[in-house]
C-alpha cells in the first residue's frame, strides 16, 4: 500500500468519524437505565478463567437461579438478563468490563462481582455513576463498614470479623478459662479474623497467649504449630486458607497436641476435612468447631429439605453436568435469591434508588439456600445482610450443628 | 510518510470525541500495553534477548507510581518518570544476569522474576498494602481542563502522547549506531565484538531501556485503574505481553501497537466465544501466527500490502531502499 493511498484512507476515516460525531443524535433517554417493560439487564464479573476459576460456579449458580425465575415469569413481568463476564480475577480487566456493562450495555446494576481486590476497584467508579453494586462476593468487612462513603455498595456473606465475634462469644460463654493460640494468614483476611477475635474477647483478650502467622509463600506451617503448642495453650484457632488449614490440623495431631480446635469457615469444606483426616488420622479433625450459614448438599439431615430439593432441581435443569456437591453453586443461588427479593421489594416502578433502598431494608426469612433460621436482613445502619451463623462440630465424617444460631454482636 | 504519521495522529486525536467513553478507556490500556511491548520489540527483536518477566517491571513501575501517589501525593508528572527510572535500574541489574545466560536459561530466570514479584509485594504490607493492594485517588483531568475533557479522554491523550514519545525515541535511537550494534550482537556476537561493539554495554542497555518502558506502562495502568495489587501484575501478565509481541510482530513498531491491541482485546473477544476456553483461543491464535505469519500481524500485513500492490500495478518497479533492505534481512 502506498503512503499516499494510506493517507487518503486515514483522512477519509477521520472525516467519516467527524461526520458521525456531528450527526450522532443522543439516543432517546430511557426512563430507567437497563429496565424495560419486559426485561431487567444486570451485569457482573466472575473469574471464569485463570487461577481463581473455581469460583466461577458462583456465577453459574446465580445465572441458573435467574433462568429458573425467568421461566416462572420473571419479576413483575420482567425477565432478568444477567451479563456475567470473565475478569480472570484481574482488577483492571474487571473495571474495563464493568465500564462496558454500564456505558454500552446500560445495565441496571452490577450484581455479585467476585473478589475483594476486584470490588475495591469497582466501588469508586460505580458509586460515582450511582450504579448499585449489589451483594458482592467477598467477606471483607469494608462493604458494610464504609457505607457512608460508598452508599451504592453492599455485601452479602458474613464477614470475617463477624465470624470471629461468634467464636469469641462461644469461648466466653463455655470456656472462660481457655488459653488461646492463634494461627493466621498474614494479610487482611487473616488479620480481620484476628481483630474480630480480639474485639470479641474484649477485656479478656489476654486469653490469647500466643499468635503465629504464616505467608502464603511458606511451604508449610509445622514450625508455627509447634511454637503455638509450646505456649501451653489448650484452644487452637486456625484462620487459614484450605491448604494451610489442612497442614495445621495434621501438624497438631502429629504433635499430639490435645487441644480444642476452631477452624475458620473459609476452610471447613469436606475436601479439607477429608484430607486432614486421611493424613493426620481421625484425631486431626474429630471435635473441630467451625461455623456454617449455607446448607451442605451432602448432609443427610437435609434429605427431605425443600430448599435443597429446589437447588438440585435447578442444577439438573440449568447446569447439567455441574457438580451438585460444589457449594459455590449454592452460594450463587443464595445471593441471586436475595437479589430477586430486593427487586420484588423495589416494586413495579423500578429505579436504582428504590432497589438500593430495598437492599438496605431486607428482611428475608425464606432464603431456601441458607440454614434454617438465618434471616438475611439489613437496615440503613446495618449493611451486613448475613450475620447469623451456627456453630458446628465435626464428628470425623461430617459437620453436626451445635447450639443455636448466633448473631455477631456489633 | 510524514503525511501518513500526521493522519494517524489526527485519527488518534479525534477518536475520543466519537467513541463511547469506555472504549476510550480501553484504548488507553492499548497504548500502555503498546509501550511495554515496544520494550519487548527492542529487547527481543533488536537485541535478541528474551524476557518472560516484563510483568515484574510493570509491577515495579505500577507500585512506584501507586506508592508515590497514594502515600506522598506526588502527581503523575513526577511519578511516571520515577517509575521508569526505577524499573530501568532493576532492568539493568537483570541485564547483567542476562549476560551469563542465554536462550531457555534466560527465559527461566526472567520467568522466576515474574513469579517472585507478586509474593514479595504481599510481604511488605506497610509499603505495598499487601494482598489488598493500594487504592489511589480517582484519576481526573487537571482542574482548569475538567469542564472540557472527561478523565477518560484526558488519560487517553496523556497515554498516547507518552506512547508517541516512547516510539519516537526508539525510532531515533535504533536507526543509528545503537540499533546497528544491537542487531549485530543479535546476529553474531563474535563478529560484532570483532568490530568493536561492546556487548556488556549494549545488552544491559537494551534490558534497562526495555524495563523502563514496561515501568511506564505499569505506572499508567496503576494510575488509570486507580489501584495496584499483586493480582494486577501476575505471571499471566508477563506471558500475555510475550504473546502480544509475538502475535503483533517482533521486529516492527507497528507490531508493538498491534500487540497492544491483542493484549487488550483478545481476552474480551475470546470470552465471547466461550469464557472457559480463553487460553485455548490464545494458544490457537499464537500457533496460527507462528505458522502463517512468522513476522507477526505486522509482518503479515506488510506482506499482504506488497502482494496487493504487485497485483494492482503489474509492471515491475524498483523497490524502495528500505524495503530492499528489510527483504534481505528477512
pLDDT at A8: 63
A188·B15 Cβ contact <8 A: no
| Kind and range of the H or E run holding A390 | strand A388-394
Chain A within 8 Å of B11 (Cβ-Cβ)? yes
Contacts of A125 in chain B (CB under 8 A): 138
Check CB contact under 8 Å for B225 and A215.
no
Which chain B residues are within 8 Å of A91, Cβ to Cβ?
133, 225, 227, 229, 231-232
Q: What pLDDT score was predicted for residue A23?
A: 47
Start-to-end Cα distance in chain B: 22
User: Taking Cα atoms as reference points, which of B167, B187, B170 lies closest to residue B179?
Assistant: B170
Strand partners, A94: none
Residue B139 contacts A, CB cutoff 8 Å:
no
Contact list, A86 vs chain B (CB under 8 Å): 267, 271, 275, 278
Which residues of B fall within a CB distance of 8 Å from A20? 18
Alpha carbons B46 and B42: distance in angstroms, whole number: 5
Per-residue pLDDT, A267? 86
Q: What angle do CA A351, A357, A363 make, to 5 degrees?
A: 125
**For chain B, what percentages of helix, strand and coil (3-state, to nearest 5) are there?**
80, 0, 20
DSSP string, B107-163: HHHHHHHHHHHHHHHHH-HHHH-GGG-EEPPPP---GGGTTTS-HHHHHHHHHHHHH
- Closest-CA distance of chain B to residue A62, Å: 16
B139 grid coordinates: 484519576
Q: Do A120 and B132 touch (CB under 8 A)?
A: yes
> How far is the alpha carbon of A258 from chain B, nearest alpha carbon, in Å?
32
Grid look-up 524498483 returns B318
* Dihedral angle computed from the Cα positions of residues B305, B307, B309 and B310, in that order, rounded to the nearest 10 degrees: 160
pLDDT at A189: 81
> What residue in B sits closest to A19 (Cα-Cα)?
B18
Q: Extract the C-alpha cell encoding A223.
A: 514450625
Alpha helix positions (H), B175-252? 177-187, 189-194, 199-225, 235-248
pLDDT at A317: 96
Contacts of B237 (CB under 8 A, 6+ apart): B55, B58, B114
Supply the pLDDT for residue A82: 97
In B, minimum Cα distance to A127 occurs at B138
C-alpha atoms less than 13 angstroms from C-alpha of A210 in its C-beta half-sphere? 15
What pLDDT shows up at residue B200?
93
**Cβ-based contacts of B305 with chain A (< 8 Å):** 1
Rounded to a whole number of angstroms, the distance from the CA of B192 to the nearest CA of chain A is: 35
Domains of chain A: residue spans and CATH: 1-157+299-378 (3.40.50.2300), 161-292 (3.40.50.2300)
10 Å Cβ neighbour count for A399? 23
CB-neighbour burial class of residue B77 (10 A; exposed 0-12, middle 13-18, buried 19+): exposed
Three-point CA angle B42, B303, B301, nearest 5°? 65
Q: Which of A375, A385, A363, A333 has the alpha carbon at shortest distance from A134?
A: A385
Could you count the other beta carbons within 10 Å of the beta carbon of residue B286?
Answer: 15
Is any Cβ of chain B less than 8 angstroms from the Cβ of A223? no
| Confidence at residue A398, expressed as pLDDT on a 0 to 100 scale | 86
- Which cell numbers hold the place of B204? 544491559
CA angle A263, A269, A270 (to 5 degrees): 115
| DSSP-derived pairing of the beta strands A79-86 and A39-46 | parallel
Confidence (pLDDT) at B322: 44
Cβ atoms of A310 and A346 within 8 Å: the answer is no
Of A7, A99, A188, the CB nearest to B7: A7
Q: What is the pLDDT of residue A9?
A: 63
A6 touching chain B per CB within 8 A: yes
**Confidence (pLDDT) at B313:** 62
Chain A residue with CA closest to B137: the answer is A124
Interface check A194 vs B, CB under 8 A: no
**Dmax (CA) of chain B:** 69
Name residues of chain B where pLDDT drops below 70. 1, 312-330
3-class SS at A388?
strand
Return the C-alpha cell found at B318.
524498483
pTM reported for the whole predicted model: 0.82
- Residues in chain B with CB shorter than 8 Å from the CB of A49 are 271, 275-276, 278-279
- What residues in B contact A4, CB-CB < 8 Å? 3
CA–CA gap between residue A294 and residue A29 (Å, rounded): 42
Give the residue on A whose Cα is nearest the Cα of B319. A2
Read off the C-alpha cell for A251.
501438624
Q: Which residues of B touch A114 (CB under 8 A)?
A: none
Q: Assess contact for B99 and B199: CB atoms under 8 A.
A: yes
**Cα–Cα distance between A86 and B275 in angstroms, integer?**
6
Grid coordinates belonging to B303 = 506482506
| pLDDT of A97 | 94
- Rounded to whole angstroms, the Cα distance separating A195 from A71 reads 45
Task: Name the closest residue on chain A to residue B265, using Cα atoms.
Answer: A93
SS3 content of chain A, % helix, strand, coil (to 5): 45, 20, 35
pLDDT in tens, chain A (410 residues): 455 665 666 666 665 555 554 444 444 445 789 999 999 999 999 999 876 787 889 999 999 999 999 999 999 999 999 999 999 888 899 999 999 999 999 999 999 999 888 999 999 999 999 999 999 998 888 899 999 999 999 999 999 998 999 999 999 999 999 999 999 987 778 888 999 999 999 999 999 999 999 876 678 899 999 999 999 999 999 999 888 999 999 999 999 999 999 999 888 887 789 889 999 999 999 999 999 999 988 888 888 999 999 999 999 999 999 989 888 899 999 999 999 999 999 999 999 999 999 999 999 999 999 999 999 999 999 999 998 999 999 998 888 888 889 887 55
Per-residue confidence (pLDDT) for residue B324, from 0 to 100: 43
Spell B28-48 as b/e; 16+ CB within 10 A means b.
Answer: bbbbbbbbbbbbbbbbbbbbb
Amino acid at each position: 500500500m502506498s503512503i499516499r493511498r494510506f493517507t487518503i484512507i486515514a483522512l477519509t476515516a477521520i472525516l467519516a468519524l467527524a461526520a458521525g460525531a456531528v450527526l450522532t443524535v443522543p439516543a432517546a433517554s430511557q426512563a430507567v437505565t437497563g429496565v424495560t417493560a419486559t426485561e431487567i439487564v444486570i451485569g457482573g464479573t466472575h473469574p471464569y478463567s485463570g487461577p481463581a476459576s473455581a469460583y466461577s460456579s458462583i456465577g453459574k449458580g446465580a445465572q441458573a437461579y435467574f433462568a429458573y425465575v425467568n421461566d416462572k415469569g420473571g419479576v413483575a413481568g420482567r425477565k432478568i438478563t444477567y451479563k456475567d463476564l470473565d475478569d480472570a480475577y484481574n482488577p483492571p480487566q474487571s473495571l474495563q468490563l464493568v465500564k462496558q456493562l454500564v456505558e454500552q450495555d446500560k445495565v441496571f446494576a452490577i450484581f455479585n462481582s467476585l473478589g475483594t481486590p476486584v470490588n475495591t476497584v469497582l466501588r469508586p467508579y460505580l458509586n460515582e455513576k450511582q450504579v448499585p453494586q449489589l451483594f458482592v462476593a467477598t467477606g471483607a468487612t469494608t462493604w458494610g463498614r464504609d457505607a457512608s462513603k460508598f452508599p451504592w455498595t453492599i455485601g452479602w456473606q458474613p464477614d470475617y470479623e463477624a465470624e470471629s465475634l461468634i467464636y469469641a462469644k462461644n469461648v466466653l460463654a463455655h470456656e472462660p478459662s481457655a488459653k488461646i493460640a492463634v494461627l493466621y494468614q498474614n494479610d487482611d483476611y487473616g488479620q480481620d479474623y484476628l481483630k474480630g477475635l480480639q474485639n470479641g474477647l474484649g477485656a479478656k483478650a489476654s486469653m490469647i497467649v500466643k499468635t503465629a502467622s504464616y505467608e502464603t509463600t511458606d511451604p508449610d506451617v509445622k514450625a508455627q504449630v509447634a511454637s503455638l503448642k509450646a505456649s501451653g495453650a489448650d484452644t487452637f484457632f486456625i484462620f487459614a486458607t484450605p491448604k494451610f488449614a489442612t497442614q495445621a490440623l495434621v501438624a497438631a495431631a502429629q504433635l499430639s497436641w490435645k487441644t480444642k480446635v476452631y477452624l475458620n469457615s473459609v476452610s471447613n469444606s469436606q475436601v479439607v476435612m477429608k484430607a486432614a483426616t486421611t493424613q493426620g488420622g481421625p484425631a486431626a479433625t474429630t471435635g473441630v468447631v467451625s461455623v456454617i450459614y449455607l446448607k451442605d448438599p451432602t448432609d443427610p439431615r437435609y434429605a427431605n429439605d425443600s430448599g435443597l430439593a429446589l437447588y438440585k432441581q435447578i442444577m439438573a435443569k440449568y447446569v447439567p453436568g455441574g457438580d451438585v456437591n460444589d457449594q459455590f453453586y449454592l452460594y450463587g443461588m443464595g445471593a441471586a435469591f436475595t437479589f430477586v427479593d430486593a427487586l420484588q421489594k423495589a416494586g413495579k416502578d423500578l429505579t436504582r434508588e428504590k432497589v438500593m433502598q430495598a437492599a438496605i431494608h431486607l428482611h428475608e426469612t425464606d432464603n431456601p439456600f441458607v440454614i434454617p433460621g438465618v434471616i438475611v436482613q439489613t437496615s440503613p445502619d446495618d449493611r451486613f445482610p448475613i450475620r447469623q451463623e451456627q456453630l458446628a462440630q465435626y464428628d470425623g465424617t461430617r459437620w453436626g450443628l451445635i447450639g443455636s444460631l448466633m448473631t455477631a454482636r456489633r | 510518510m510524514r503525511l501518513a504519521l500526521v493522519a494517524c495522529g489526527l485519527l488518534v486525536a479525534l477518536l475520543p470525541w466519537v467513541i463511547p467513553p469506555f472504549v476510550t478507556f480501553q484504548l488507553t490500556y492499548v497504548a500502555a500495553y503498546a509501550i511495554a511491548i515496544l520494550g519487548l520489540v527492542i529487547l527481543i527483536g533488536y537485541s535478541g534477548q528474551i524476557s518472560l518477566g516484563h510483568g515484574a517491571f510493570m509491577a515495579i513501575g505500577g507500585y512506584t507510581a501507586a506508592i508515590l501517589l497514594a502515600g506522598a501525593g506526588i502527581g503523575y508528572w513526577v511519578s511516571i518518570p520515577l517509575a521508569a527510572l526505577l524499573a530501568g535500574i532493576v532492568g539493568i541489574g537483570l541485564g547483567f544476569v542476562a549476560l551469563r545466560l542465554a536462550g531457555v536459561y534466560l527465559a527461566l530466570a526472567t520467568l522466576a522474576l515474574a513469579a517472585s514479584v507478586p509474593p514479595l509485594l504481599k510481604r511488605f504490607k506497610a509499603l505495598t498494602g499487601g494482598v489488598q493492594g493500594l487504592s489511589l485517588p480517582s484519576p481526573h483531568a487537571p482542574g482548569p481542563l475538567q469542564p472540557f475533557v472527561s478523565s477518560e479522554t484526558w488519560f487517553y491523550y496523556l497515554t498516547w502522547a507518552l506512547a508517541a514519545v516512547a516510539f519516537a525515541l526508539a525510532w531515533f535511537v535504533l536507526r543509528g549506531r545503537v540499533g546497528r550494534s544491537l542487531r549485530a550482537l543479535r546476529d553474531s556476537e563474535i563478529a560484532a565484538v570483532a568490530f568493536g561493539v561492546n556487548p556488556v554495554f549494549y545488552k544491559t542497555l537494551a534490558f534497562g531501556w526495555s524495563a523502563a518502558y514496561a515501568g511506564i506502562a505499569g505506572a499508567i495502568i496503576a494510575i488509570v485503574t486507580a489501584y495496584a495489587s499483586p493480582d494486577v501484575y501476575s505471571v499471566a501478565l508477563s506471558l500475555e505481553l510475550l504473546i502480544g509481541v509475538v502475535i503483533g510482530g517482533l521486529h516492527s513498531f507497528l507490531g508493538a501497537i498491534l500487540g497492544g491491541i491483542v493484549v487488550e482485546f483478545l481476552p474480551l473477544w475470546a470470552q465471547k466465544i466461550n469464557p472457559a476456553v480463553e487460553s485455548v483461543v490464545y494458544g490457537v491464535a499464537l500457533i496460527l501466527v507462528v505458522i502463517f505469519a512468522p513476522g507477526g500481524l505486522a509482518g503479515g500485513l506488510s506482506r499482504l500490502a506488497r502482494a496487493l500492490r504487485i497485483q494492482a500495478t503489474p509492471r515491475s518497479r524498483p523497490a524502495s531502499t528500505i524495503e530492499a533492505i528489510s527483504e534481505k534481512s528477512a
